[in-house]
């Protein structure tokens, strides 16, 4: 999974007709399944994959990663992939220029809050409608019952939820360009699938690398 240099469309503020030359980057962590980059996904040359599965920064009332929402939108406009699964705000679908084929719901079944759900928008170039699924899995956060996998990341996803989504997609190669503490990465690795993760925070790259290294020992045993 070595990176191939490619071009990308600049944000709308760029002069018409401009392109941005993306850069290559050495992996922060790599093993037989995982390639992890400590970088800004909008600036990184990335190879093609079968599925983009990501929980990017999106408009929210909690103030989580608000400054990076525009970067997520730019990445969606620039990276070419036929199949996406994206966690996003429930009031509007992410601005991806592909047919929306399903809207799944993560039911955070260990929470009694009114907002104990989160939508997962599925897009596919084939435009074939899929059944929308309700996915009941606990929210992961330090101190909550049964959250042994909690890393402290404020929007960490449930490992089994991410494995379920990968299984539903049927993909063999996955990209998470905003991988946070690495749940998508760990999920794919445990399924013995090739996965690329990108995260600009070194703190969370370190967490992801530690999770992957631990899984390497588990798979080996």
Q: Is the pTM of this model over 0.85?
A: no
Main-chain phi, psi angles of 213, to 5 degrees:
-65, -40
From the list 181, 139, 187, the residue with the least C-alpha distance to 159 is 187
CATH superfamily of 22-220: Vaccinia Virus protein VP39 (3.40.50.150)
User: What does the alpha-carbon distance between residue 70 and residue 167 come to, in Å, rounded to a whole number?
Assistant: 29
Element (H, E) at 189: helix 183-190
* Range with top average pLDDT, 3-12, 145-154, 176-185: 176-185
Instruction: State how beta strands 173-176 and 117-124 pair.
Output: unpaired
**pLDDT grade, residue 168 (50/70/90)?**
very high
Q: Residue 221: what pLDDT?
A: 54
Instruction: State how beta strands 173-176 and 194-199 pair.
Output: parallel
pLDDT single digits (tens) 8-45: 333 333 333 333 446 678 999 999 999 999 999 999 99
């Amino acid at each position: 999974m070595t990176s191939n240099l490619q071009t990308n469309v600049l944000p709308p503020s760029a002069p018409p007709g401009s392109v941005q030359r993306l850069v290559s980057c050495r992996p922060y962590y790599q093993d037989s399944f995982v390639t992890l980059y400590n970088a800004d996904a909008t600036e990184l040359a990335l190879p093609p994959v079968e599925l983009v599965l990501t929980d990017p920064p999106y408009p929210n009332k909690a103030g989580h990663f608000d400054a990076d929402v525009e970067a997520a939108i730019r990445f969606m406009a620039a990276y070419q992939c036929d199949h996406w699964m994206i966690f996003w705000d429930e009031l509007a679908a992410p601005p991806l220029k592909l047919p929306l084929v399903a809207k799944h719901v993560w039911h955070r079944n260990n929470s009694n809050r009114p907002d104990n759900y989160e939508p997962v928008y599925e897009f596919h170039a084939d435009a074939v409608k899929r059944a929308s699924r309700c996915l009941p899995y606990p929210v992961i956060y330090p101190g909550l019952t049964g959250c042994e996998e909690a890393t402290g990341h404020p929007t960490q996803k449930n490992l089994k939820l991410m494995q379920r989504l990968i299984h539903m997609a049927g993909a063999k190669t996955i990209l998470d360009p905003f991988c946070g503490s690495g749940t998508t990465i760990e999920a794919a690795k445990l399924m013995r699938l090739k996965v690329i993760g990108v995260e600009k925070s070194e703190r969370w790259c370190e967490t992801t690398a530690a999770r992957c290294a631990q899984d390497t020992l588990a798979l080996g045993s």
